[in-house]
């Protein structure tokens, strides 16, 4: 049992390394500046570190938003929560057909640095990613 405990502790440590909360004072000035430039109305951002990048979560215009920014101050991805009803019908149909008995709990539109976007549909314990035209791309554990 001792070895199982060590494995679990190791897994928890690795997981927390992917999304580690940090204080705003520890966020580089150029990263905070990039956020302020792109989202001047963003206030009270909650910061976390994901690998080498930083993520800011905040509300702007009553929309839950998160932005992934690299240490050079480049915005890599923006995620805006949307109503489930705003998802293309093909996504809702896909979930009904492939995840019977499950419902979409949250939805988001994710835009990358080049302006291309995907949709995210969150169901119990999973994030489902779809192309901009509603075609399934991948599933990842929440």
Predicted local confidence at residue 18, as pLDDT: 54
Distances (CA, A) of 18 to 35, 53, 131: 20, 10, 25
- Residue 47's pLDDT band, with cuts at 50, 70 and 90, is very high
Cβ-contact 128, 120 below 8 angstroms: yes
Find out whether 19 and 13 touch, Cβ atoms under 8 Å.
no
Q: How many Å apart are CA 123 and CA 95, to the nearest integer?
A: 9
What's 140's DSSP letter? Answer: E
- Residue-level pLDDT at 17: 40
The alpha carbons of the chain give a radius of gyration, in whole angstroms, of: 17
Return the percentage of the chain with pLDDT > 90, whole number: 78
Euclidean distance between CA atoms 78 and 65, whole angstroms: 7
- Tell me which of 137 and 42 has the higher pLDDT: 137
pLDDT score, position 9: 34
Residue where the block lists tokens 């999973």? 126
pLDDT band at 43 (very low <50, low <70, confident <90, very high): confident
Q: Is the pTM of this model over 0.75?
A: yes
- CA atoms of 121 and 95, how far apart (whole Å): 9
- What's the confidence (pLDDT) of residue 61? 86
Domain chopping of the chain, boundaries? 20-141
Q: What is the CATH number of domain 20-141?
A: 3.10.450.360
Both tokens of 9, joined, read: 């502790």
CA–CA distance, 1 with 61 (Å, rounded to integer): 50
User: Does residue 4 surpass a pLDDT of 90?
Assistant: no
DSSP readout, 37-69? HH-TT-EEEEEEEETTEEEEEEEETTEEEEEEE
What's the pLDDT score for residue 141?
Answer: 87
């Amino acid at each position: 049992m001792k070895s199982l405990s060590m494995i679990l502790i190791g897994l928890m440590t690795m997981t927390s390394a992917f999304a580690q909360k940090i204080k705003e004072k520890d966020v580089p000035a150029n990263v905070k500046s990039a956020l302020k430039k792109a989202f001047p109305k963003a206030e009270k951002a909650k910061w976390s570190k994901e690998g080498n990048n930083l993520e800011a979560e905040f509300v702007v215009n009553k929309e839950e938003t998160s932005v992934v920014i690299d240490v050079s101050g480049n915005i890599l991805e923006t995620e805006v929560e949307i109503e489930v009803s705003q998802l293309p019908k093909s996504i809702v149909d896909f979930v009904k057909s492939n995840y019977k008995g499950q419902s979409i709990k949250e939805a988001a539109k994710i835009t990358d640095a080049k302006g291309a976007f995907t949709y995210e549909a969150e169901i119990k314990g999973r994030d489902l990613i779809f192309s901009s035209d509603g075609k399934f791309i991948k599933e990842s554990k929440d």
